[in-house]
Structures are given as C-alpha cells and as structure tokens.
Amino acid sequence: MNLKTIAQRAGVSTATVSNVINGNYHKVSQETIERVQRIIKEMNYSPNAAARSLASKESKIIGLIVPNMGSLQSMDPYTTHMLSLFEYAVRREGYYLMVRCVDRCHEIAQLASSWNVDGVVLLGAFPDEVEEIEGLLGSIPSVYTDTYAEGRAIANVGIDDYKGGLLSARCLLEKGHRKIAFVGPDVNSPGVIHERYRGFCDAMKERSLALSPEDIFFALTSSEAGVEIGKAIALSNRGYTAVAAMSDTLALGLCVGLQQSGLRVPEDISLIGFDDLRLCRFTTPAITTISQNLEEKASLTVKHLFRMIRTKEKYAVNEVLDVSVVERQTVRGI
C-alpha cells in the first residue's frame, strides 16, 4: 500500500494525497479531503514518517525551544497559547513540532546534535544568550520571537514593546489615575520588560509624574506571583488607585490577590494587563489589557522559518508588530 494506490482509488494526484496526510488542507477541497481520508481509513494505511524522512533527507521536524524554563508544567498561559499557534502553523506546512524546554543555553546543543531538525523557533531569548545559541545551532534555520539582540544578525518577530508600555500608562493616566503600581520582571535587564518600562515612564513624564522605586513590584511571570504581589500592594498603604501588569498572566493573579485582600476591581483599584490572552475576556471583571496579535506573530515567525528552509539560507530580519489598548471592565475613571 502506497500513495500511488490511494491516489488512483481517490482519482487525485499523489501530491494531493500527500497534502491530506500532512494536513495541508488549505491546498485541497473539503470534499477531496474527506474522500482521501475515507480511503486511507478503509485501507488501514499508516504513513512511515521515518522512511519519508530518509527518502527526502528531511526530518519534517521543527524544534520549538522555550529558554529559561525547566518543564512544560511551568509554562504560563501565554507560552501555551503560542505553542498551540506554532503547532497549527507548522502542521499546515506538513511538518511536526517538537517542544524542548531548557534552563540553560548549552542544553540546546543536544537538540542541534542529536535531532535532525529542519528548523528551530526560539520563544524569546535574552540578548546575552543569542551569540551562544547561534553558535550551537550553526547553519540550522532559526527564527526568534521577542528577542532584543542589538548588533546580532538574527531573524526576529516581536512587538512594539515601548509603545505597549506607553499605551498602558496613558490608559490609566487618561482615566485620572496618578498613583500607579508597576508590576513585572526585572526592568533593568535589556529586553521586552525594559522596553515596556521605558514607554511607561515616558508616558508618566508627559504628565510630569514619575515612578518611584517603591512603586515597582518585581515578579516572575506567573499567576501565583501575581496573587502575592496583589496582596502586597493592598497592604502597602501607599494609596494606589491602579496597577499596571506587564503580562496578563500576572494580571490574572493580581486580580485574585487584590480581591482576597478586600479590594474590589475596579471600584477600589483599577488594573491593566498586557498580551490580550483569551482568558482575559472571561474573567469577572473582564481584564483591560494591551493587545498584541499573537496569531500574526506566530504566522510571520513560521513564514520566515520556512522561507529559510526552502532557500537553504539564513537571513536577518526584525519584524515589529503593532499593539493597541483593549478596554474591558478593570479600569475606571476617577
């Protein structure tokens, strides 16, 4: 049993059968998909991925590397959502996604040396890691997301983080808030959070205001950390009327922590997140946030990766996607 036999029975080309098997449904009509799948089921056909890999000298595997994360269990909602978007986009190209979480850059060496991956996506990396990562990957096509690596020739797809921070502060300031708590990972390390912090501070300067060190609450990106920071803000007695979280994952936890401490959102304190995760639409109250187009980010990343795979040439590009405010129920005017 082979593709040719299935194609003859279905009255289509072997390329069409291959597209159906590999999930390239955008190239085939729904009627043809159903006919081919029915014949495959009737004939109990199971494609041999290893044999196809040897024949084409391609593994049809794309590695998704999640740096600075030890396991799938520690993934936040943002990371899991991006993972699902990448899996779908890669599957549409007829490839398979292999996920690898790493705590240290050198762990990438095992992926590069032991697995015959055709390309790699890196879901965020610190600037000082890029040189080492590129050395480990060598000629393997690779595209980064949300990575600031000034002076390094890499392919990266990110967002306008500075504008995101600017819009976050302006949203609160325009509603009359002046005493604002800022919550996020280390603002001093170059990268995503630093850019959002710069934008936030510049928006404050527009109103002749400034964040003091006491107004900045450090938290790793987890809902659990958000709960604890929410309680700390409620007990700080600093008169905050609003909180800006640099991720929706933190915002979700903050909302719980503030409410557990007796503060109502937004009646007593307003809250804005960052990312526009789907969960934010279904919380009570629904969370106001800075939206980034996660679908477009994943699509562009995969587009550049497969262009490299097909041309067999790595290249440098920096795609910066726009952001916007999505107003829901957690920010009120005062």
> In the predicted model, is pLDDT for residue 54 greater than 50?
no
> In the predicted model, is pLDDT for residue 75 greater than 80?
no
Identify the pLDDT of residue 158: 97
Q: Are 130 and 75 in contact (CB under 8 A)?
A: no
Residue type, position 33, single letter: I
Q: Are 123 and 75 in contact (CB under 8 A)?
A: no
Spatial distance between the Cα atoms of 331 and 334, rounded to a whole number of angstroms: 10
Q: What is the pTM of this model?
A: 0.82
Compute the half-sphere exposure of residue 186: CA atoms within 13 Å on the CB side of its CA.
5
Structure tokens, 222: 């987890």
> In the predicted model, is pLDDT for residue 48 greater than 60?
no
Residue type, position 138, single letter: G
Identify the pLDDT of residue 193: 96
Band of the pLDDT at 109, cuts 50, 70, 90?
A: low
| List of domains in the chain | 3-47 (no CATH), 56-159+295-323 (3.40.50.2300), 161-292 (3.40.50.2300)
> In the predicted model, is pLDDT for residue 81 greater than 80?
yes
Comparing 22-31, 121-130, 173-182, 256-265, the range with the smallest average pLDDT is 22-31
Spatial distance between the Cα atoms of 136 and 130, rounded to a whole number of angstroms: 10
Identify the pLDDT of residue 22: 67
Highest mean pLDDT among 4-18, 103-117, 303-317: 303-317
Cα dihedral sign for 199, 204, 208, 213?
negative
> In the predicted model, is pLDDT for residue 1 greater than 80?
no
Identify the pLDDT of residue 270: 98
Residue-wise pLDDT for 209-263, tens only, equals 999 999 999 998 899 999 999 999 999 999 999 999 999 999 999 999 999 999 9
Identify the pLDDT of residue 113: 60
Q: Are 117 and 61 in contact (CB under 8 A)?
A: yes
Q: How far is CA 188 from its chain centroid? A: 22
Do you find a cis peptide bond into 285, omega within 30 degrees of 0? yes
Identify the pLDDT of residue 53: 44
Instruction: Find tokens 């679908």 and name the residue.
Output: 295
| Count of beta carbons in the 10 Å neighbourhood of residue 133 | 26
